[in-house]
Structures are given as C-alpha cells and as structure tokens.
Structure 1
Amino acid sequence: MNGSLFQHMLEEGDYVPRFYAYYYKQWMNYEMPYHQHDSTEIMYMISGVCRIDVKAGDTEKSVILKKGEFMVLDAGVPHRLIVDQAASCRMLNVEFGFMESEGKTPSLRLIAGEEEEVAFLLKRPFRYLVLADQEEVYPVLKSLVLELDQRGTDGRMMTHALFIQLLVCIARLYEERERSDMQQSDFYIKRSVDYLHQNYDRQIQVKDVAAEVNLHPGYLHRVFRRGTGRTITEYLTTIRMEKAKMLLEQTDIPIHEISDYVGVGSRQYFHMLFKKYTGSTPVEYRLRKDRNAWNYGEDRVEDKK
C-alpha cells in the first residue's frame, strides 16, 4: 500500500507508521526538479524561507514556507523546492507510510476513534496542507527523528508513541484553523445576507456584495456557497421571489410594477423567474390568493349562520 493518509484500508484495518526518510537539510540557491513520493512527507521550516511548487493536473500552485511553518504533502503529489539565490532555509523532513500492526501499539484507526481531531483530519483529503506551528509540532518532530536515528525504523514502541503525539498535534492545529476559518466565513456570510436583504430592490451583482464585505468576488462566492449551499445569485433570487409573493398577496400594487419593487429590471425576466420559483405566473398567483381570501370570507359568513 502507498503512504497516503487518505486510504480506506486505514479506516478498516489496523496499520501503524513506517518511516522511509528523515533528515535535516540546509538549502541555499537551489532549484529541485519536480518529483513525487509514495509516502506522506512533512517539511518543517526551521529557519529562513523557501518556495514549494505543487502540481495538481495541469495547474501549478506556489507556497512560500516561512520559519515555524510546515507542509504536510500527501503521497503521489508532484512538487519541487526552490530557494532563491539571495535566500537560504533549513528544513527537517520526515517521510512515512503505513504497515500492518503487530498489535504492540495503537493503530491509526484506533487513534482516530479516540481523538476526534484526528478523525476530522483523516476525513478531509488534501494534496497538501500548510500550518503554522504553535511551538508544539517541532519538539515532537525533533524527538521522533532523534529516536529514529538512534533506534532505527523497526516499529519500536517509543517511535510509534511519538508519531501518535505528532499526528494529534497536527490534527488539533488543523481543526483549530478550520474552526477559525468557519467562524470568519460565518461573519462574511451574515454580512452578505444582510446586504442582500437591504438592497434586493436594486440592480446588484456579486461584485457589489464582495465590495461591501471587502473580499474578492471569487473567494466570497466559494465561502457563501460552502456555508449556505446556494450561490449569492440564487440566494438573492429567493429573497426577491419571496418578497414578490408577499406583495402579490398583501398589496394592491399593479402586477406590472412588482418587478421594479424587487429589483428585477426586465418584466419578462421577472415573470420567467417567478413562474420557475412558484409554478405560477404572477397573475395566476394573485388570482389564486384573491380567490382563497374570498372563499375564506364566505366560510366565515356561513359560520355565523
């Protein structure tokens, strides 16, 4: 089996880490060719700064890794390290995969069952993950490498214990960051929704909402859809159609003016949207509501008899 963290076998069976490489390295004025591993790799930046390019299909992403940050790179992901001529960096690298447990130490499956943050991490596949250390990961990583240097890779108890500690530290950092991002996303979503409710009668676009909350339109689109299950345009349409229904039911505003009240400039487009949303044209909707109201009044008269 390969060394990816995201394999069904790890959830179903009992597997423990197997270490392939671990080393310190000072890099200066260096450009590494693209390569990939069958193992998961942790690259910890001890000092300096470097660039790591990661390929995903035909696209390439660049990550600037700074002191105190580290990257977890999944197995099979093409990547390369680049250190500018005027810069240098010192890194600690560890590459690991998995092997079947002999029952001496807890398996990855058992760890995930005990530590909800580890389960959270393992259920969210990534090609690479960059996190900022809180002075927790490096001491454990350093102890793990020292243990491997002195005792080897033969599945010793201390090695596995340090790996468990390392994985839990990384998982907690990841879960904390994701929770913080979600809270920030909720803030932007709430501000966006408030803006939509207050401006649905105007000709507004996604870029207007993004400007209001000081975010890039593309990023806001992703955050909003992830948080609400709908795009901003879909959400705005819902607000407008619900408002149109209320105006048709409870006011005498002429139907041909309703589109202006809800910010849809074209009456033809408004009619199309409304029928798609309700299954009725605005005229049919108002007539049906008027008929229901009249029937209701008639029923009240019958009751009095």
Structure 2
Amino acid sequence: MGNKIGKMMKSQLHGSQFSLYNSALRQGEFYPQVIAYYYKQWQGFTMGFHTHQAVEIMYVISGQCQIEVETEVCALQKGHFIIIDALIPHRLIVDEASPCRMLNIEFLFKAQKLSFPSLKQLAQSEASLMELLKLNKPYIMLRDPQDVHNLLKSLVLELDSDHENELMVQLLLAQLLIRISRLLNESMQNPVRATDDYIRQVIDYMHHHYDRDIKVNDMAQAVNLHPGYLQRLFKNKMACSLIDYLNAHRMDKAKMLLTQTDIPVTEISEYVGVNTRQYFSALFKKHTGQSPLHYRQTIQAEKRNSPM
C-alpha cells in the first residue's frame, strides 16, 4: 500500500490541483484522483497546524477527537466526518483518555479524458453536487448514516487491489461525492430539525449526567458542536443558558430527594452534581426561596397536617 500511495503522490503532485470549489471543475473535464489514504489510531496527540495540496476527508471510525480548522474547533465522534478543502490550515487533537481511529482520504482533481462522466457532467445531472461545488466553505462536518463509511471502505479496497480498475475507482468516488452532497443538502434544507436534534441530545445528556460535575465543554463534546455555537443555539431555542437549565433540573431533583427520601440534607448536593454544600444551599434558595432544610421541614409539616 505504501509504495502504491507513493507512486500516486509522485505522479500527481505536479499535476492540475484545484480547490473543491474552483469554478474550473464545473466547466472543464476533471476527475477526482486519490493521492493518499490510510487508517490511523490516534491517542494523546496534538498535531501542528498544516495544509494539504488536496481535499481531505477525515472519518471517525471509533472514539472522538477535535479538529481545529483555521479559528474554529470541531468535535467529532464515531460516525462523523469532516471534509477540509485544499490549502486550509487545520490540526488534529486527540485526548489521552479517548483514543480515536480514523480513515483519511486525500484527493486532487485532474483534467483528463475517461469513458466515465466528468465531475462537471455529474454535477449537471445531480443538483446537490452542483450546490456542493459552489459552497465555498473551508470545511464541512456531517453525520453519516453509514453510507459514507461503506463507500470509503469499498474505495480503499479497490485502491488496494492488485487489479485496480480506474473506472471502478471513479464510480466509487462519484457515489461518494454525490452521497456527501445529498447529506449536506438534507442538513441545509432542514436546519430547524437539525437544531432541534442538537437541543434534544444535549438535554438528554444533562438529564443523564446531572449528578456529575459537567461543564459546557462536556455537553458540547457530547453533541459534537463548538461550545460557543451550542450555547447560542440553546439560548435561542430555550430562552435560557445551558447552565441555567442544568441547575434548574438539578434543583428539581433535589426537591424530589428532599421530599421523597430520607437522604440527609447535607448529602443531597452530592446526588445532584453540585460541588459544595454552601453553593448547593445558595442555588436551592435562589430557585425555591427556602434553604434545603427549611424546604424539607415545610413539606414534612404539610404532610403531617394534611387530612388522611
């Protein structure tokens, strides 16, 4: 595989190379050509900023990672992939505690004549691909319903084959680009649904992890969004901040525990993920107007005085 990649890179590095959004791709007879492809398990790794003379697809097979593109940070986990345009500075960051296995594919565009539809011809018959080629974004991050991964695996197997068929490679690349363009089109056509999905996911995450000391960064990683972007989405949709929602949910749980259990008041904070008893008491009083002890005593008195 290494020799094969080396030959491909050597033969193409001095050929025609274009951004995914170069208008020449929509006007001439160009075809994508893979110059590098590899699997890699990363752990405890921070890559320096770098660029490629090719378009790159980075697909997360397992684990999670962060990819910083120019000034933006993208959190990816299993089933997510990112397309980074040629010559865009980026770097990979993988935590020591969370290894990440990836499949990377880099490709250029070369002018040639093949008995297979060119990128221009494909785009003329597939509106979503034409829109992709006009998008002009430094990167695109998407969630895969498995189609993209299957196509990437088939492409790698064909590239690795001793009897590689160029038309088969072009067919797989065409399918790959069209499938990605359709996924992108779906996400852009229904951004409200996508936003609602993120809000639902982060609320589910808070409901399942409120007993832990979770931060905004933890929530953002759970839904694979930049923390600042997630906070803006949540505030616009829910009319409160992530932390305000989390604290309100914690106080609801605390009220239930104070009402329905005999757990000592001094231990309740540990059950709802609040670091200190003092902060828990202040937070509880802010939400209920009473201290945790007074709240329990009031509820107990009401139960004693209520008719059977």
TM > 0.5: yes
Q: Report whether the alignment pairs 1:44 with 2:59.
A: yes
Equivalent residues in 2 for 1:79-90, closer than 5 Å: 79-90=90-101
Find the residue that maps to 1:85 and give its secondary structure: coil
Decide which of 42, 65, 79 is 1:27's aligned counterpart.
42
CA distance in 1, matches of 2:140, 2:190: 16
| CA offset digits 1:209-259 (Å, max 9, x no partner) | x9785469xxxxxxxxxxxxxxxxxxxxxxxxxxxxxxxxxxxxxxxxxxx
Counterpart residue type for residue 98 of structure 1: F
Find the residue that maps to 1:53 and give its secondary structure: strand
Q: Report whether the alignment pairs 1:131 with 2:142.
A: yes
CA distance in 2, matches of 1:142, 1:215: 43
Decide which of 165, 176, 185 is 2:186's aligned counterpart.
176
Q: Report whether the alignment pairs 1:167 with 2:182.
A: no
Find the residue that maps to 1:110 and give its secondary structure: helix
Please report how far the alpha carbon of residue 5 of structure 1 lies from its aligned counterpart in structure 2 after TM superposition. 0.8
| CA offset digits 1:51-73 (Å, max 9, x no partner) | 11111xxxx11111110000000
Match of 2:243 in 1: none
Please report how far the alpha carbon of residue 3 of structure 1 lies from its aligned counterpart in structure 2 after TM superposition. 3.6
CA distance in 1, matches of 2:32, 2:124: 17
CA distance in 1, matches of 2:168, 2:24: 24
Please report how far the alpha carbon of residue 136 of structure 1 lies from its aligned counterpart in structure 2 after TM superposition. 0.7
Equivalent residues in 2 for 1:150-299, closer than 5 Å: 150-151=161-162, 156-181=166-191, 214=238
CA distance in 2, matches of 1:17, 1:27: 27
Any runs of at least 4 consecutive aligned residues in structure 1 with deviations exceeding 6 A, and if so which?
182-185
CA distance in 1, matches of 2:157, 2:49: 29
CA distance in 1, matches of 2:115, 2:183: 28
Find the residue that maps to 2:186 and give its secondary structure: helix
CA distance in 1, matches of 2:143, 2:236: 30
Please report how far the alpha carbon of residue 177 of structure 1 lies from its aligned counterpart in structure 2 after TM superposition. 0.3
Match of 1:245 in 2: none
Match of 1:251 in 2: none
Please report how far the alpha carbon of residue 101 of structure 1 lies from its aligned counterpart in structure 2 after TM superposition. 2.5
Please report how far the alpha carbon of residue 19 of structure 1 lies from its aligned counterpart in structure 2 after TM superposition. 1.1
Decide which of 62, 78, 101 is 2:112's aligned counterpart.
101
Distance 1:14 1:67, change over 3 A: same
Q: Aligned pairs, how many?
A: 188
Contact 1:73 1:128 in 2 (8 A): yes
Please report how far the alpha carbon of residue 104 of structure 1 lies from its aligned counterpart in structure 2 after TM superposition. 1.7
CA distance in 2, matches of 1:26, 1:85: 12
Match of 2:133 in 1: 122
Contact 1:23 1:92 in 2 (8 A): yes
Q: CA RMSD in A?
A: 2.3
Unmatched runs of 5 consecutive residues or more in structure 1: 186-209, 217-305
TM-score (norm: length of structure 2): 0.57
Unmatched runs of 5 consecutive residues or more in structure 2: 1-15, 196-233, 241-308
Counterpart residue type for residue 113 of structure 2: E
Distance 1:110 1:83, change over 3 A: same
Please report how far the alpha carbon of residue 35 of structure 1 lies from its aligned counterpart in structure 2 after TM superposition. 0.4
Counterpart residue type for residue 147 of structure 2: E
Distance 1:29 1:211, change over 3 A: closer
Find the residue that maps to 1:163 and give its secondary structure: helix
Counterpart residue type for residue 163 of structure 1: L
Q: Report whether the alignment pairs 1:18 with 2:12.
A: no
Find the residue that maps to 1:122 and give its secondary structure: helix
Distance 1:80 1:152, change over 3 A: farther
CA distance in 2, matches of 1:6, 1:20: 19
Find the residue that maps to 1:165 and give its secondary structure: helix
Decide which of 86, 99, 123 is 1:75's aligned counterpart.
86
TM-score (norm: length of structure 1): 0.58
| CA offset digits 1:165-186 (Å, max 9, x no partner) | 101110010000000116789x
Decide which of 119, 123, 127 is 1:112's aligned counterpart.
123
Find the residue that maps to 2:171 and give its secondary structure: helix
Please report how far the alpha carbon of residue 2 of structure 1 lies from its aligned counterpart in structure 2 after TM superposition. 2.5
Contact 1:4 1:39 in 2 (8 A): yes
Contact 1:3 1:96 in 2 (8 A): no
Match of 2:68 in 1: 53
Distance 1:145 1:215, change over 3 A: farther
Please report how far the alpha carbon of residue 150 of structure 1 lies from its aligned counterpart in structure 2 after TM superposition. 1.4
Match of 1:234 in 2: none
